[in-house]
Amino acid sequence: MSTVGIRQVAEHAGVSPGTVSNVLNRPEKVSASTRARVETAIRELGFVRHASASTLRAGHSKTIGLSVIDIGNPFFTDVTAGVEDVASERGYAVLLSNSAGSTSKEERNLLVLAEQRVRGVLITPSDEGPGPLDRLRDRGINVVLVDHPAHRPDQCSVAVNDIIGGQTALTHLLSGGASRLAYVTGPLTIRQCLDRRLGAERALRGRPLRVVEMPTMTPRAGQQAAEKIVSEGDLPDAVFCANDLLALGMLRGLMHAGIRVPDDIALVGYDDIDFAAASAVSLTSIRQPTYQLGRVAAELLLDECDNPGTHAHQQIMFQPELIVRESTR
């Protein structure tokens, strides 16, 4: 039970506690010799700064929060990696919380972040309700939206153009000769699903698009969608899925029904997760700059935290990219 604090370090090094604090926080203010003395004292005593005391006195912590919808989705895992890299480069710690799609869990998590007095929050909002976010901002906690364009100019956001993504997918399918098209999606209340559909329809210029809406975006749901499409007859010759998880399930469902991909039905997914390249028939997909999304979001947030004066809010929109593989060849 070591209770070695800044005082003990100070005593051991023959200086005052204030000087130790300076070594810790503004080393340039301390002469080289005393700094060295303090640093060896720190090492010898195994001193570990008490983050709570520091936060309490300083009024702010070296911590940011990251709230994602589903940590099990490889898409978010990659975003998280980007965020963590930037944060650790700049000396911040990341508090990761997972709302698992539940709004109430999201609110509970945001409360924890507020209690911890995090410096800022990165969040992929699960719905449009801006209430909890505004409450954070009122407390002086900076907020950057991830994978969601901001609806107000005084707010940073980082997103990927889902309309272009949907359009690209459909254009690719059409150029492959497809004519009877289907869109398999999660709930159309989700902005991403909606935008991708919008893009798809734009590419179709009025031609019909069969929409199959599933309640979740999992491989299981994708397989069920396949069974539905097969049982209803009148097969499409190309399917666009809102998500690679759906697409993988769809692929499996189609193969089970003896339908060949891409010969009978061409298939395009979305996100380009690792498993997309590794599936039995590798999956054509729309790649998003996932890791980069996390990096840039974190950079915007930390800029806002460290330079509150000069920070200019930005809404950044990345472009998605088509990755062609076997499922549309």
Partner DNA sequence: GAGGAGCTCTAAAACGTTTCAACGCAGATC
Partner DNA sequence: GATCTGCGTTGAAACGTTTTAGAGCTCCTC
- Please report whether residue 282 would count as binding a copy of itself according to CB under 8 A: yes
- 56-63, Cβ contacts within 8 angstroms, sequence gap of 24 or more: 60/117, 60/119, 61/116, 61/117, 61/118, 61/119, 62/91, 62/92, 62/93, 62/119, 63/92, 63/93, 63/94, 63/95, 63/116, 63/118, 63/119
Residue 287 corresponds to which amino acid? R
- Residue 95 C-beta: closest distance to DNA, Å: 19
Q: CB of 121 within 8 A of CB of 143?
A: yes
Listed residue (203, 197, 201, 173) closest to 185, CA to CA: 197
Q: Cα(90)–Cα(299) distance, rounded to whole angstroms?
A: 9
When asked if residue 116 is in the footprint of DNA (CB under 7 A), the reply is no
Question: How many whole angstroms separate alpha carbon 65 and alpha carbon 119?
Answer: 8
The piece of 1-9, 154-162, 212-220, 305-313 that touches DNA (CB under 7 A) is: 1-9
Indicate whether 17 belongs to the interface with DNA (CB under 7 A).
yes
Contacts of 299 (CB under 8 A, 6+ apart): 86
What span, in angstroms and rounded, lies between the C-alpha atoms of 14 and 317? 54
- Name the binder of 114 from DNA, a copy of itself, none, CB < 5-8 A by kind: a copy of itself
Residue 21 near which of DNA, a copy of itself, none (CB within 5-8 Å, type-dependent): DNA
Cβ distance to DNA smaller for residue 52 or 189:
52
Residue 56 near DNA by CB under 7 A: yes
Pick one of 132, 166, 186, 249: the residue that binds a copy of itself (CB under 8 A): 249
Site size with a copy of itself, rule: CB under 8 A: 58
Smallest distance from the beta carbon of 308 to DNA, in angstroms?
14
Ramachandran angles phi, psi of 288, nearest 5°: -115, 150
Footprint on residues 181-200 left by a copy of itself (CB under 8 A): none
By beta-carbon proximity to a copy of itself, the closer residue of 61 and 168 is 61
**Interacting residue ranges for a copy of itself, rule: CB under 8 A:** 1-2, 46, 48-53, 55-56, 61, 71-72, 74, 77-78, 80-81, 84, 88, 93-98, 100, 105, 108, 111-112, 114-117, 135, 138-140, 218-220, 222-223, 248-249, 251-252, 255, 274-275, 277-282
